[in-house]
């Protein structure tokens, strides 16, 4: 069994290429390029090393603030 560490690139038969997020005795968490994050039982997951680079993360754009509502003139 190959030992993987966080940051390693791997390939899974069903989900394709991904990057290992964390590994411990019980669980392996992987963020797949096409399918998002998944958690596997460490002793049962079958992975192969991958040479494909991780895709570039999309740049996060800042949303513009919503226009403030006009102040209501309250007269008594």
> d(Cα 71, Cα 76) in Å, to the nearest integer?
16
Residue with the larger pLDDT of the pair 57 and 72: 57
> What predicted TM-score, i.e. pTM, was given to this entire model?
0.74
pLDDT band with cut points at 50, 70 and 90 for residue 58: confident
Segment 2-42, tens digit of pLDDT: 789 999 999 999 999 999 999 999 999 999 999 999 999 99
Determine the pLDDT at residue 57. 81
Place of tokens 């895709």: 55
Q: Which ranges of the chain would DSSP assign to H, the alpha helix?
A: none
Assess contact for 64 and 43: CB atoms under 8 A: no
Domain ranges of the chain: 9-49
């Amino acid at each position: 069994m190959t030992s993987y560490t966080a940051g390693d690139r791997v390939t899974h038969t069903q989900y394709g290429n991904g990057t290992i997020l964390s590994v411990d005795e019980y669980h392996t968490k992987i963020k797949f390029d096409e399918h998002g994050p998944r958690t596997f039982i460490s002793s049962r997951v079958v992975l192969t090393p991958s040479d494909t680079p991780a895709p570039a993360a999309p740049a996060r754009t800042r949303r513009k603030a919503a226009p403030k509502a006009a102040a209501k003139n309250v007269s008594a």
